[in-house]
Structure 1
Amino acid sequence: MESMQRFDTAASRKNGIASRTLVCRMAGAVGALGTFGVVGILGMAGAGWPGHAAAQAAGAEGSNFIYLVRPGDTLIGLAERFMDRPGRWRELQVLNKVEDPYRLPPGMRLRIPLAHIPVIDGTARVVFVTGQARADGRALQAGVELGEGARIETGAGATVTMELGDGSRVTLPPASTIEVRRLRAFSRTGLTDAVIGIGQGEVDSRVAPRGTGVGRFEIHTPSLVTGVRGTRFRVGTEDGASQSAVLEGKVQARSRRGQQAAVRAGYGISVSSAGMLAQPVTLLPAPVLAPLPRPLLGSHAVVSWSPVAHAVGYRVVVARDAVQTELLSSQTVSGAQATLQDLPEGDLYVGVSALDARQLGGAGTVMPFTVRLNPPAPFTLVPERDGTAYGETVTFTWAEVASAAQYELEVAADADFGQGLVQARDAAPMASQALAPGRWWWRVRSLDATGQPGPWGEPVAFAVEPSPPQPRLEDDGGDTLRIAWPATAAAAGTVQAYRLQMASDDGFTHIVSEVRSETSEARLPRPGSGIYFVRVAREGKPGVPPHFSAPQRIEVMQYVRDSQGQAIGAGGRLLNRGN
């Protein structure tokens, strides 16, 4: 470039304006080969092709594109590069009050009217969708191409990310509506010329991530225009008021009343519903997150953090990428923790940022975590939820999982599995465990061939009670049968009641007699001679079916009786009529 400058100066002295114009065109052509760095954003320019300088695109202000002059730039070269006619360099000279069109001070902010920069149709492609989102009334899915004028809406729990031709990404959280008002690109430069209007909610923008610089990228709300000269910022609107938080780079904010302010990274600005632009304020610091389990076994988790002073709430997002453009979920909470739900398997990122009273969110803390959902947890079978197991030993059964090599069982006296914990591991989908009477919880998970576990299944609450008392027959030959059983201690202040049944079949489909007793015995009318079955159960809570003992087989006889109706015995035994 130095040799060009020297040649340009020499040529101008010898050959006049014609030779100078030729050299400026050569310089402009060389500059046109580079890519465009972002100025005032990350302090670095985009990478150009070897041997060529990168142009300095710095976004737009109002109706002008802003270009930062580099050594060797001339008005004629820049007009030929950016404008529809090279001869418009004179308009640039007047607009920018330039004395010598061939000597531009490096770093000068040169304004170029957007109206005179040729444009071509731009592109926007939907790269990520979750939940119910629509464009122009039609359901959205990844891969859809959007054009100028497209109207995008996200429902509750839905997010959308679209990518422009220069790699810029615009992410809509839930309950947001935008319109793509302009979608072009500056011809011969590849710079974006986009204007997006927010009708409701907010958008999060990551502009020119490839370091190509920004042509025009503006976010409009009813009360605020935010022009980008930065790479990461967020704009939202509600009830006519708007706010913008700058996370990286710098933006130019303009209210509908014409007030303007430059807002740099780490600051936010707001506009009232009346259109009054407030002074930029410092964004709240990022919260310090408590680590999540590594890996996270399950699709749900609770993330917590240290409270941030002056925060009125927190924005919590889960994304597939570290830069948080592909949102799986977004929520706002008032406390210092949030529940993450329906997490998919894989490497994910949770981001938390503090919100101030104006709903301006600062830079968030982003924490990576990994979700492991396989092998899946088995379906539990027995004991059932809120069921009852009887006896000193409880048998647990669950469904088999094809990808499981083993299973791990946990039983505890509390739902958090911290008290009275017992564990067992087996290749079979069942296990037995001795447990005392009381309330218990159990859960099971699968292990793969390497011994790595999947998530636990849902805890199942159940009760353990002693086995039902076993009835016995005491036949004194009278008109009734006396059935007795071991007594069971009742809770203080209560009476333990029992239910006794006698049937002609062991399935108790033909019940001969049934009585209720508050003692450990009962009498049943003597039936005809034959084989019968009896069983007894402790009565429990109202509405809960009783759990009966195993059927006991008894034989009932008719005895020889005297004139008073008493059974007659001989040789120490009662005389059966059938003998």
Structure 2
Amino acid sequence: MNALRVWLAMSLMLACGWAVGQTDAADADWRYRIQPGDTLITLTDAWLAPPRTWRDLQKLNRVPDPLRLMPGSTLRMPVAWLKREASVAEAVFARGQVTRQRGAASEALTAGTTLQGGDRIKTGAQSSASLRFADGSRLLIPPDSDITLDQLLVLGRGAIPAVRIGVQQGGADSRVTPNAQRVPLYEVRTPHVNLGVRGTEFRVQTAGSQSRMQVLSGAVHAGGLGPDVASGQGLLAEGAARSVAPLLSAPDLSGLVPVTERLPLHLAWVGGPAGAATWRVQLYVGGDFDRLLLDDVVGEPAVTWPEVRELADGDYTLRVRAIDARGQEGAAADASIRLLARPEPPFIQAPAPGAVSYAGGTAFAWTRNTVAPNVRLQIARDAGFKDLVLQPSPIDGANYDARLPDGLYHWRIASVEAGGRAGPFGDPQTFEIRPPPPAPPPAEPEVSGDQLKLRWRADPDVTRYELEWSKTETFDGADVQRFATDKPELAIPKPSPGKYFLRAKAFNAAGAASPWGQTQMIEQPYPRWLWLLPLLLIPVL
């Protein structure tokens, strides 16, 4: 209780300091629409803070009779005169490394957390949070940002929120609920500029010696600048300098593929508009711009996100903005993206790419996805898999033998869950069946070597792979073996008969690792002579 009293007292002290900065000018007045039964005396009791009285209202508004007010007319009440109480905000979304600092204490921020004036919020890489204020206004805090809630108040009879936000680093995207009263009650302050808002949507970024702002709707007043910054304009503040310029138009996303079945997620678009130097690319939960999942700046009209492995299949929204040479982010273009990448396809073991068989058939082998152990196999004469020659029902196993006429074939596999849902196909490969050559003259036998070869789909942004091989699916035993390779293939000594598990992860040139891929199971059969051993023991018995 004592801590609450101290917090309320501090909030009111901050409020008083804020009020000192206000003036009695028209822009600092709240317009109250008079209701039937209102008098200056009742309005003073409801809205004004001591020492103001109804006589101050009468004098300011030149009201002849304090007991008779005209319903529907407006009454001026300076913001500095209004009662003020501490308010709160709510975290409606938090992802990744997001912390709230209150005094000396710091803790992870989660959705549903109540925030108060003085709280400080920090987001890490690929981390974000969204806040909701008392009037429904929203604040999106993107990755690598440092934000303080300098002030959270409600004025008068709890009707007018007064919010002031400090942006020390990173960004803040605001959607402010329109305020019909002519009062700047939503403020954003950076080290370089103070911004006053009366219902609008705008973005702020600050880094180094500069702060930038882009107005998407409404208008924003910037300290040190005469006219308001209007919708479609951007402000650059550096020291005392202020410059305003039009924002770039939205990029062209018409070439974007709406459904993706591959991991990591790779998306490309046409590009533009003219003047674009880089692009801001963001991924949201489908249609929900409070839930920012991924955020990057790219130097070409394409983005690759290994982090999508952490996201479930489903519907998402891609938002892209062009950034000009001054660092101003333009209008956004949005596109719906459907991720259908699971269950992931198995690793192919045989045949090798471009393999040639002279036996009139081919033996196929693959690993098994533990989440979706069955396999869908397609073999076609064409690369588009329109001319299918073989498509058996889902195979409950890790191999399949097919006898086919001579020719060149394309084949691919996909994992199938127990319920019958199939995942995307892996990369197609080719093999060829040729007639056998003439019988050669007798020759000495040749040992090909005992090796187990594994291959998987290559990615242009991956520089190396790490794999783990274990007898347990949890990979926590002493028998775990680890391998590294810079190619999408691996050859290991042929293991003894039994069941094994394999998983892999990739690294880019910067050394960043992806999460582990889905575990694959490999069964190494026992030699057939073991089954004859009991028969050999019969004479002994």
* Residues 1:346 and 2:286 are matched in the alignment: no
Q: Distance in 1 between matches of 2:62 and 2:219?
A: 30
2:272: which partner in 1?
307
Question: Which aligned pairs between 1:318-337 and structure 2 lie closer than 5 A?
Answer: 318-320=283-285, 322=287, 324-337=289-302
Which whole-Å CA distance do the structure 1 matches of 2:422 and 2:314 have between them? 15
Relative to structure 1, the CA distance from residue 437 to residue 213 in structure 2 (aligned partners, 3 Å threshold; closer, same or farther) is: farther
Structure 2 residue aligned with 1:204:
173
- Cα distance in 2, alignment partners of residues 211 and 408 from structure 1: 63
Shift of 1:68: 4.4
Whole-angstrom distance in 1 between the partners of 2:291 and 2:184 = 24
The one-letter code of the counterpart of 1:194 is V
Unaligned runs of 5+ in 2: 1-18, 451-489, 495-541
Q: Alpha carbons of 1:546 and 1:219: their partners in 2 closer, same or farther (altered >3 Å)?
A: closer
Distance 1:117 1:396 in 2: 79
Offset at residue 173 of structure 1 (A): 1.1
Secondary structure at the aligned position of 1:363 is classed as strand
User: Is residue 176 from structure 1 mapped to residue 145 from structure 2 by the alignment?
Assistant: yes
CA contact (8 A) 1:424 1:431 kept: no
Counterpart in 2 of 1:253?
222
| Aligned positions of 1:57-456 closer than 5 A | 63=22, 65-68=28-31, 70=33, 79-85=44-50, 87-88=52-53, 99=62, 112-114=78-80, 116-136=81-101, 137-208=106-177, 216-255=185-224, 259-272=225-238, 274-278=239-243, 280-290=244-254, 292-299=256-263, 300-320=265-285, 322=287, 324-341=289-306, 342=308, 343-374=311-342, 376-383=343-350, 393-398=361-366, 399=368, 407-409=376-378, 424-428=391-395, 429=397, 430-432=399-401, 443-446=412-415, 453-456=422-425
Partner secondary structure for residue 454 of structure 1: coil
Q: Distance in 2 between matches of 1:175 and 1:409?
A: 46
1:568 equivalent in structure 2: none
**Cα distance, 1:411–1:128 mapped onto 2, change above 3 Å:** farther
- Label 1:400 to 1:174 Cα distance change in 2 as closer, same or farther (>3 A): closer
Q: How does 1:500-511 map to 2 (within 5 A)?
A: 500=446
Q: Aligned partner of 1:145: which letter?
A: T
Deviations 1:131-163 (A, max 9, x none): 222222433322222222222111111111122
Q: CA deviation at 1:387?
A: 11
CA contact (8 A) 2:30 2:182 kept: no
Question: How many pairs are equivalent?
Answer: 415
Letter in 1 for 2:272: P
The AA in structure 1 aligned to 2:344 is A
> 2-side partners of 1:350 and 1:150: how far apart?
31
Deviation at 1:436, TM superposition (A): 11
CA distance in 2, matches of 1:186, 1:121: 9
In 2, are the aligned partners of 1:440 and 1:462 still within 8 Å (CA)?
yes
Instruction: Report deviation, 1:269.
Output: 1.5
| 1:542-577: CA deviation from partner (whole Å, max 9, x where unpaired) | x98999xxxxxxxxxxxxxxxxxxxxxxxxxxxxxx
Q: 1:446: how far off?
A: 3.8
Q: CA deviation at 1:183?
A: 1.8
* Change in 2 beyond 3 A, CA 1:216/1:143: same
Deviation at 1:254, TM superposition (A): 1.2
- The C-alpha deviation readout for 1:4-39, integer Å capped at 9, x for no partner, is xxxxxxxxxxxxxxxxxxxxxxxxxxxxxxxxxxxx
Distance 1:209 1:105, change over 3 A: closer
- 2:319–2:334 Cα contact (<8 Å) kept: yes
Whether the 8 Å CA contact 2:196–2:221 is kept in 1: the answer is yes
Identity, % of aligned pairs?
28
Structure 2 match to 1:514: none
What is the alpha-carbon distance in structure 1 between the residues aligned to residue 227 and residue 179 of structure 2?
27
Judging changes above 3 Å, is the alpha-carbon distance between structure 1 residues 451 and 215 closer, same or farther for their aligned structure 2 residues?
farther
Check 1:448–1:109 CA distance in 2 against 1; reply closer, same or farther (3 A cut).
farther
For 1:347, give the aligned amino acid.
D
2:178/2:198 contact within 8 Å kept: no
Cα shift at 1:189: 3.0
1:441–1:62 CA distance, 2 compared to 1 (3 A): farther
Aligned alpha-carbon RMSD (Å) = 4.7
Q: How does 1:545-564 map to 2 (within 5 A)?
A: none
TM-superposed deviation, 1:233:
0.9
Q: Give the letter for the 1:156 counterpart.
A: A
In the TM superposition, residue 377 of structure 1 has moved relative to its aligned partner by 2.8
The answer to whether the 8 Å contact 1:122/1:165 transfers is yes
Q: Structure 1 residues 470, 349: closer, same or farther in 2, change over 3 A? A: same
Query: Which one has a bigger Cα radius of gyration?
Result: 1
Q: Is the 8 A contact 2:266 2:302 kept in 1?
A: no
Q: Distance in 1 between matches of 2:148 and 2:319?
A: 27
- CA distance 1:432–1:236, change in 2 (3 Å): same
Indicate if the aligned counterparts of 1:247 and 1:363 stay in contact, CA closer than 8 A: yes
Check whether the contact 1:411–1:440 (CA below 8 A) recurs between aligned residues: yes
Give the Cα–Cα distance (whole angstroms) in 1 for the partners of residues 268 and 280 of structure 2: 12
SS at 2:423 equivalent: coil
The amino acid across from 2:394 in the alignment is A
Give the secondary-structure state (helix, strand or coil) at the position aligned to 1:426: coil
Q: CA deviation at 1:460?
A: 7.7
Report the Cα offset of residue 99 of structure 1: 5.0
What amino acid does structure 2 have at the position aligned with 1:394?
A: T
Separation in structure 1 between the aligned mates of residue 386 and residue 302 of structure 2, nearest angstrom: 25
Contact 1:383–1:462 (8 Å) recurs in 2: no
Deviations 1:337-356 (A, max 9, x none): 32345043222211112222
Compute the displacement of 1:321 (Å).
5.0
Distance in 1 between the 2:195 and 2:341 partners? 42
Cα offset for 1:325?
1.9
TM-score (norm 1): 0.59
Contact 1:208–1:214 at 8 Å: present in 2 too? Answer: no
Tell me the TM-score normalized by structure 2: 0.63
Residues 254 and 468 of structure 1, relative CA distance in 2, 3 Å threshold: farther
- 8 Å contact kept, 1:390–1:468: no
Worse-superposed segment, 74-83 or 305-314: 74-83
SS at 1:319 equivalent: strand
Contact 1:61 1:227 (C-alpha < 8 Å) held by counterparts = no
Q: Distance in 2 between matches of 1:127 and 1:173?
A: 14
